[in-house]
Structure 1
Amino acid sequence: MASNRIVMQAQGLVKRYGQVTALDGVDFELRAGEILAVIGDNGAGKSSLIKALSGATIPDEGQIRLDGEPVHFKSPIDARRKGIETVYQDLAVAPAMTIAENLFLGRELRRPGLAGSLFRRLDKQRMLDISIERMNDLKVGIRSMNQAVETLSGGQRQCVAVARAAAFAEHVVILDEPTAALGVKEGNMVLELIRRVRDKGLAVILISHNMPHVFEIADRIHVARLGRRAAVLNPKRISMSDTVAVMTGAMAPEQIPADCLAH
């Protein structure tokens, strides 16, 4: 569960697009073994923050630290090499490929010896075995790893994408609106999977507009407003309506009771 150890930290991040300032000196802390929800109105800067943390954009100013060490991501590949995995809304799965093939998409394992090094043949059995092990570890109920992803429901596809991220992440899993297009049952299935990812010891960043889901699953809530961090809230102490008020600016951060703030 959540600890006081900070896995990822950002200080004074600034990102400008011409005359538009998307990030205006934002600070951010993510702790080990927690689910941190990032919420904000449209234009609040949450997408720009996540892009900076995942290597999709390079901030103009500020610093990002991972386990206390400064990092400078030039691309999402750099972030992945540091153990940060991101699941975007479009999932980036290949529908015609199997679940096992999707789990290793872009990081396929080759056979040992000349078959792999010279003839570049894939070790399909090993990838299948690892896929079964990882899915069982996360208790994802899929009938067969050899199923094509296009035969799965929306919730199951989301679970495949989240499981792929959890399988390769060493530090952080970033989830962008993972339940946005799902019904109640499938949304709950994905939320339960996110809890299991957290319980494995990974830190999870959850970007969501679904406030009931945020309050159900988050350990802390980072409120983005006008390119800055408005507050970090304790969902067990503050009401949903007050959280929305902080997010929209109807309640100033100074008006938040001290026991509703997360530390």
Structure 2
Amino acid sequence: MNLPMVPLTPVGPAAQRKAALGRRVRLLVAATISYNVVEAVVAISAGAAVDSTALIGFGLDSVIEVSSAAAVAWQFAGRDPEARERTALRIIAVSFFALAAYVSVESLRALAGGGEAGHSAVGLVLAAVSLAVMPGLSWAQRRAGRELGSRTAVADSKQTLLCTYLSAVLLVGLGVNSLFGWSWADPVAALVIAAVAVKEGRDAWRGDACCAPANPRAATAEGGDCPCATG
């Protein structure tokens, strides 16, 4: 007996919408890269001038964010972005771990008496500007990435959101040091940056198994935060 053919409902966004989302992700990635290149140059230069581990770490995070965004750009430049997703996720994760390792070593060195950070007006302004700019970029990329179902786009948006948190931590650390002369606040702020980077790196590393279409409950079962989950 021949059964009637039942049309299958397409999974995910329509082809036209998917293409539009891909273009939006590429534009957001380009904006992220442009801003972070400037941020990295300013932060590392200012940090080196006053021996601020937190400010240098913030600048290095900007460098790593550029590499993360570049990995997403590389992924979406291919004909089959999904085929490059795992490699891009690995690049993002390793970049987080590299940042955490460097900042941890330098922070412990500073706490052990390896140098005291001075006041940096440039660093305070940079942290405040980033605190205002980064949330919007992160939100836009995460929204597009979730609709597109791209784990790398969402992971990169979390890298951008991390920059927001780090901007707040940096602002507090530099502010306390400038107001009260508490030089230990700078490396402590840097250690907070390192701890958050480790968490985000771990999430990105396991992102290739999270939210896989064949196992939508993977993240819940593993007790993780699925980057492609809605909400």
Q: Same fold (TM over 0.5)?
A: no
Larger helix share, 1 or 2: 2
Task: Please state which band the TM-score falls in when normalised by the shorter chain.
Answer: under 0.3
Give the structure-2-normalised TM-score.
0.24
Larger strand share, 1 or 2: 1
